[in-house]
Structure 1
Amino acid sequence: MAGKYDLKTSPSGKFMFNLKAGNGQIILTSQLYESKAAAENGIESVRTNSPDDNRYERKVSKSNEPYFVLKAANGQVIGTSEMYSGNAAMENGIQSVKTNGPTAPVEDHA
């Protein structure tokens, strides 16, 4: 099973998306967007930027869990990962975004 973008409306009425791996696990969560069109542009930005390793910023949370953010060329954060148990798991998550991001279809639930 291939990955997919899950485009939806948040409880606050704004729009967001999750990129899910083939197993259904969320591998990247977007920010909240004011319009559906802006969220769709965010998906296109993930498609464009996800193959480039330089667009990933590897971080550590306050509770010492590794995670990453994917940034656009202008430095704006496009999406944030879940918290991982270790660096190897985080790198696997990045690889999954690189694999699924460019070609995953969109499921529109917005």
Structure 2
Amino acid sequence: MSQHKNSHSQNILAKETAKNDKPYFNLKAANHQIIGTSQMYSSTSGRDNGIRSVMENGNTSTIKDLTAG
């Protein structure tokens, strides 16, 4: 299992706003490629809490693929 090294750096968590005005964020690799996109939030404070959660909890040695059935 690989360890996610990018989730602790705020520099690569980019705050965005969708066309429907919903805030979200992208997780970017060191080369600035988007490697993850958050859910759509109902408020910017919700998005900011999501970013904080990723920064605090995103560094893990276990990756769970929830898309595989």
TM-score of the pair, normalised by structure 2: 0.83
Structure 1 consecutive aligned stretches of length 4 or more whose deviation exceeds 4 Å: none
Secondary structure of 2:5 counterpart: helix
Matched, 1:84 2:27: no
Aligned partners of 2:63, 2:32: CA distance in 1, in Å?
24
**Based on CA coordinates, which of the two structures has the bigger radius of gyration?**
1
How much identity, in percent, do the aligned residues show? Answer: 45
Aligned partners of 1:48, 1:91: CA distance in 2, in Å?
20
Match of residue 66, structure 1, among 17, 20, 23: 23
Query: Residue 104 of structure 1: CA displacement?
Result: 5.6
Q: Where in structure 1 are there 5+ consecutive unaligned residues?
A: 1-39
Q: How many residues align?
A: 67
Q: Find the counterpart in structure 2 of residue 21 from structure 1.
A: none
Looking at secondary structure, tell me which structure has more strand per residue.
1
Q: Where in structure 2 are there 5+ consecutive unaligned residues?
A: none
TM-score of the pair, normalised by structure 1: 0.54
Secondary structure of 1:106 counterpart: coil
Aligned partners of 2:8, 2:26: CA distance in 1, in Å?
13
